[in-house]
Amino acid sequence: MSAAAHAEAHEHHGPPAPHYSSRIKPETLGMYLFIASEIMLFGSFFTAYFFVRIVNGTPWPTPPYHLPVFVATINTFILMTSSATMHWATVSIKRGNVWGMRAGLLLTFLMGLAFLTSQLFEYMRAGFNTSNGAFPTIFFCLTGLHGCHVFVGLSILAFMTIRAFRGHFSAEHHHGVEIGGIYWHFVDVMWIVVFTTVYIL
């Protein structure tokens, strides 16, 4: 064996690098599969919503209840802005701007928290609950399901933010920020659909 081959053999430790037949990284593929299952879950809730509202012909919102559209609109703006700050964080770390990423992640987390807190207050002041019929049940199920996703997104964001402040990400290695960002945008896309169908139309 030549000296170069010897050196190469000594540099390599452990098993050989795994061969991936897919062009997608396993972590990203995992997130895609998770999101695909989430879309199916939301799909089942939307099916119930459309059944109650269109097939069953239930008035929406059922009188005498009213939906807090104004608060939800403010919440929508908060969530959309949080997507922008999430994008800012990703762009920043891609350019090597660590403090930009940290600020972006922190702002995203705070806005997500504001959204969730505001939604909890909205629930407490709604004036109806799940025992009041199909309309409130579907309303709480759909918005609650989305709220759960925001909570999961916040948990991911919390980990990302802590890691960011510990110096875990760099311009070359920021996969954790990228995947978390994809999930956060997915949560926001789902909110647009929920907001449009439940509150506006």
Selected from 49, 67, 83, 164, the binder of another protein by CB under 8 A is 83
Helix (H) or strand (E) holding 35: helix 26-50
Size of the site for another protein (CB under 8 A): 25
Which residue, 32 or 159, is less far from another protein as judged by CB?
A: 32
Residue 65's nearest CA partner among 9, 175, 140 is 140
Residue 196 interacts with another protein (CB under 8 A)?
A: yes
Angle of the 26-50 helix axis to the 175-194 helix axis, nearest 10: 10
- Cα angle: 111, vertex 83, 80; to 5 degrees: 75
Residue 181 interacts with another protein (CB under 8 A)?
A: yes
Backbone angles phi, psi at 70, to 5 degrees: -60, -50
Residue 171 interacts with another protein (CB under 8 A)?
A: no
Give the dihedral of Cα atoms 113, 116, 120, 121; nearest 10 deg: 60
Contact track, another protein, 42-81, x by CB under 8 A? --------------------------------------x-
In this structure, the number of other CB atoms found within 10 A of the CB of residue 12 comes to 10
Residue 178 interacts with another protein (CB under 8 A)?
A: yes
Residue 86 interacts with another protein (CB under 8 A)?
A: yes
Query: Tokens for 190?
Result: 């789902």
- Interface contacts to another protein, rule CB under 8 A: 23, 31-32, 35, 80, 83-84, 86-87, 90-91, 177-178, 181-182, 185-186, 188-189, 192-193, 195-196, 200-201
